[in-house]
């Protein structure tokens, strides 16, 4: 509803920052109205996730980390579904065409697109009077019928997670100046590691093939391990028992938990982990661990799927059930 | 960065309003992390377009019209590329989960998804402190290599548009209380028609097959006929001469133009038309018009493609070139 303009700043912005990223022939150099994905025998896995300034990232987060987060939260979903990235569409809502923000944003986006083999295929750039927002629709491929679902977990399966849990929630606490920030006031390295885990997820796309080969059910941990496990169990019509001390933690997270700076609730309900949570049949756990090792990703078995409709239980070192005040993050 | 919650309002919102729309088996009832499009021999056409409250629609626009506009601006692109809709992903950014807004929004979205055969496959719902924003990624299918491009127009081709041009710009002027609102103060029917054209585009998906069969180049008119024609010509490395009096106008638009309430510039640079603009080889114009007639869509030949790098010219009834102050809408 702005006035029209003789020259299109939007076109110039796209040409300057995003055309260099559109290396895939199906992107038509971003000068057409749409992109193409060529047919293949695979199923196409479709995912969209958006991040909003002030909600999913801070206004002063480095722009390249904002771009990486926007793409990686989607790549993480593709990984957990066993899919190989094929490309993405970008929607970018900005108050103004600010070169100081756009240049590093586009650079970070392009680097990650190359790193994960997920080219920019097209997009839309719109003005907004509000917070910046980046919405990405990402596409991946799996052999027909082989997408790994949330449903499919069976009693007796092991519950396995990749990487470490809780770091991003602790990093967020640091950025908000909370208890973790105070506890780690003298430990720059730990603070930077945790903040980095919040700002720049490490999607486990290297695990996609292993998940597809071995998992009976999988999803990524984005809203908190406890809540996401509850969703996986509900979709599979099962329950689970988790050995809380077996949840893999980074050294700073383990120290903060041991010192009582944070409770286990912050670790398992904080969200933004972007690790893979999956159910692996007992007789495949070894093969899955071996494949994960080959892929260079640590995985840990943290519990067992059991029958029944009850919510998953988290047990402490003494086998007592831990009461969780919250399970996960929710927008509404 | 809100506090986590025990129960997920986001999940409840999705279950209540959007699961009923997710009728396609590839949507997995919106309870998984991703959707699937099954393989086919066709190319998959990918498009994303977003609309922002206060930019592309008014805060008090009826929610069902906001939903329809969000989907239809994408459907319009698919139509202009000759593609048949296959489904879409929805990103919805809201300040709160307001039932009074969400219920009609979801109803309008579902009705249009059914009408255009473009099912909801998945999405993301996020909170924002800012304006509402709806970003849709839409998918369509064309036979391999048959997507209609902006490039491909050849000297001698006729320039053809569907429907009528300029109505949406006049509708926007009415909503802003401009000169058109005053001129039509006594004509409710005309005001409602023009406002309707702004709020609810009429994408020409019925023309997709005819465009694919006959057009040498095509795009939809979203940012203004003049600017979009300039883009089509630039992509095709041609120019064009347009007979401005031949541009199809609705009766209210023609009357407003004749009375001098608006100039031709408002008509051809206003945007939001969501009509199809295409180049049709001379020897196919008749067949294209016949196919359009069969599809129930009016089309009008408004000019001719000529060789050369100059910007397209709009000529008046006396053959004099019309100077346009603006060509189209730009966000930046």
Same domain, B19 and B89: yes
Residue A99 structural domain: 9-142
Instruction: Look up the CATH number of the domain holding residue A131.
Output: 3.30.1330.10
Q: Does A289 reach chain B within 8 Å, measured CB to CB?
A: no
- Alpha-carbon distance of B42 to A38, in angstroms, equals 8
Same domain, A19 and A125: yes
The dihedral of CA A76, A81, A86, A92: what is its sign?
negative
- Alpha-carbon distance of B227 to B267, in angstroms, equals 12
Q: Which residue from B274, B153, B267 is spatially nearest to B218, judged by alpha carbons?
A: B153
The secondary structure of A246-303 as a DSSP string is GS---HHHHHHHHTTSS-HHHHHHS----EEEEEE-GGGHHHHHHHHHHHT--EEEEE
Q: What is the CA radius of gyration of chain A?
A: 21
Put residue A58 in one of left, alpha, beta given phi > 0 → left and psi -120 to 50 → alpha. beta
User: Phi and psi of A17, rounded to 5°?
Assistant: -100, -30
The angle subtended at Cα A97 by Cα A92 and Cα A99, nearest 5°, is: 110
Helical segments of A50-95, H only = 63-80
State whether B135 and A139 contact (CB < 8 Å). no
Residuewise pLDDT in 10s, chain B (332 residues):
333 333 468 888 999 999 999 999 999 999 999 999 999 999 999 999 999 999 999 999 999 999 999 999 999 999 999 999 999 999 999 999 999 999 999 999 999 999 999 999 999 999 999 999 999 999 999 999 999 999 999 999 999 999 999 999 999 999 999 999 999 999 999 999 999 999 999 999 999 999 999 999 999 999 999 999 999 999 999 999 999 999 999 999 999 999 999 999 999 999 999 999 999 999 999 999 999 999 999 999 999 999 999 999 999 999 999 999 887 766 56
What local confidence, expressed as pLDDT, does residue B332 receive?
A: 65
- Alpha-carbon distance of B237 to B151, in angstroms, equals 8
What local confidence, expressed as pLDDT, does residue A329 receive?
A: 63
Chain B neighbours among A 90-119 (CB < 8 Å)?
Answer: 90-91, 93-94, 96-97
Q: Does B192 reach chain A within 8 Å, measured CB to CB?
A: no
C-beta of residue B267 within 8 angstroms of C-beta of residue B257 = yes
Same domain, B304 and B194: yes
The secondary structure of B173-189 as a DSSP string is HHHTT-HHHHHTTT-HH
Q: Does A144 reach chain B within 8 Å, measured CB to CB?
A: yes
Same domain, B166 and B269: yes
Q: What is the CA radius of gyration of chain B?
A: 21
Mean pLDDT by 10 residues, chain A (332 residues): 48 91 95 95 98 96 98 98 98 94 98 98 95 98 98 98 98 96 97 98 98 98 96 97 98 97 95 97 98 98 97 96 81 62
Same domain, A25 and A94: yes
Same domain, B73 and B43: yes
Residue A137 in domain: yes
Same domain, A194 and A104: no
Binding site members of A? 33, 48-49, 56, 77, 123-124, 150, 220, 222-223, 272, 329
State whether B51 and A126 contact (CB < 8 Å). yes
Residue B323 in domain: no
Same domain, A247 and A122: no
What local confidence, expressed as pLDDT, does residue A3 receive?
A: 33
Instruction: Look up the CATH number of the domain holding residue B307.
Output: 3.90.650.10
For chains A and B, CB pairs below 8 A equal 293
- Alpha-carbon distance of B40 to B46, in angstroms, equals 15
Same domain, A173 and A300: yes
Report pLDDT digits (tens) over A73-105. 999 999 999 999 999 999 999 999 999 999 999
State whether A6 and B39 contact (CB < 8 Å). no
The dihedral of CA B114, B189, B254, B223: what is its sign?
negative
Residue A321 in domain: no
Same domain, B162 and B119: no
B293 CA: distance to closest CA in chain A (Å)? 25
Q: How many domains are contained in chain A?
A: 2
Chain A neighbours among B 48-67 (CB < 8 Å)?
Answer: 48-52, 54-56
State whether A332 and B9 contact (CB < 8 Å). yes
Search chain B and give the residue with CA nearest A34: B47
Q: Does B68 reach chain A within 8 Å, measured CB to CB?
A: no
Strand order in the sheet with B120-127: A35-37, B43-52, B133-142, B84-94, B120-127
Residue A122 in domain: yes
Residue A151 in domain: no
Question: CB-CB: which of B34, B96, B331 is closest to A46?
Answer: B34
A23 contacts: CB under 8 Å, gap ≥ 6:
A119
Same domain, A163 and A305: yes
B323 CA: distance to closest CA in chain A (Å)? 12
What local confidence, expressed as pLDDT, does residue A213 receive?
A: 98
A194 CA to centre of own chain: 15
Question: CB-CB: which of A39, A124, A126 is closest to B43?
Answer: A39
- Alpha-carbon distance of B23 to B247, in angstroms, equals 41
- Alpha-carbon distance of B227 to B198, in angstroms, equals 18
A108 contacts: CB under 8 Å, gap ≥ 6:
A63, A64, A65, A66, A67, A68
- Alpha-carbon distance of A155 to B303, in angstroms, equals 69
Residue B325 in domain: no
Same domain, A170 and A239: yes
Residue A153 in domain: no
State whether B36 and A54 contact (CB < 8 Å). no
Residue B332 in domain: no
The secondary structure of B228-256 as a DSSP string is HHHHHHHHHT-EEEEEGGGS---HHHHHH
């Amino acid at each position: 509803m702005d006035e029209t303009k003789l020259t299109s700043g939007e076109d110039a912005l796209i040409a300057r920052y995003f055309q260099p990223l559109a290396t895939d022939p199906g992107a038509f150099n971003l000068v057409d109205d749409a992109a193409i994905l060529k047919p293949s025998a695979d199923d196409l896995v479709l995912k969209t996730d958006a991040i909003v300034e002030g909600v999913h990232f801070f206004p002063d987060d480095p722009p390249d980390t904002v771009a990486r987060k926007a793409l990686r939260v989607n790549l993480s979903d593709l990984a957990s579904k066993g899919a190989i990235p094929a490309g993405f569409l970008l929607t970018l809502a900005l108050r103004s065409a600010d070169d100081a923000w756009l240049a590093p944003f586009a650079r970070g986006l392009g680097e990650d697109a190359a790193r994960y083999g997920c080219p920019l295929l097209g997009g839309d750039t719109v003005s907004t009077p509000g917070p910046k927002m980046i919405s990405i629709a990402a596409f991946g491929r799996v052999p027909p019928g082989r997408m790994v679902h949330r449903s499919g977990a069976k009693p007796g399966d092991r519950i396995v997670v990749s990487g470490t849990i809780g770091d991003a929630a602790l990093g967020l606490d640091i950025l908000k100046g909370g208890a973790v920030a105070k506890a780690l006031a003298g430990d720059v390295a730990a603070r930077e590691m945790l903040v980095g885990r919040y700002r720049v997820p490490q999607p486990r796309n290297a695990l996609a093939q292993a998940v597809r080969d071995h998992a009976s059910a999988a999803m990524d941990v984005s809203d908190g391990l406890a809540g996401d496990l509850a969703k996986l169990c509900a979709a599979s019509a099962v329950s689970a028992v988790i050995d809380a001390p077996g949840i893999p933690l980074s050294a700073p997270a383990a120290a903060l938990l041991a010192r009582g700076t944070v409770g286990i609730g912050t670790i398992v309900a904080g969200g933004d982990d972007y690790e893979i949570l999956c159910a692996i049949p007992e007789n495949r756990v070894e093969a899955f661990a071996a494949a994960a090792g080959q892929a260079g990703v640590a995985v840990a078995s943290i519990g067992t799927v059991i029958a029944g409709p009850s919510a998953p239980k988290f047990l402490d070192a003494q086998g007592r059930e831990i009461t969780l005040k919250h399970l996960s993050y929710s927008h509404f």
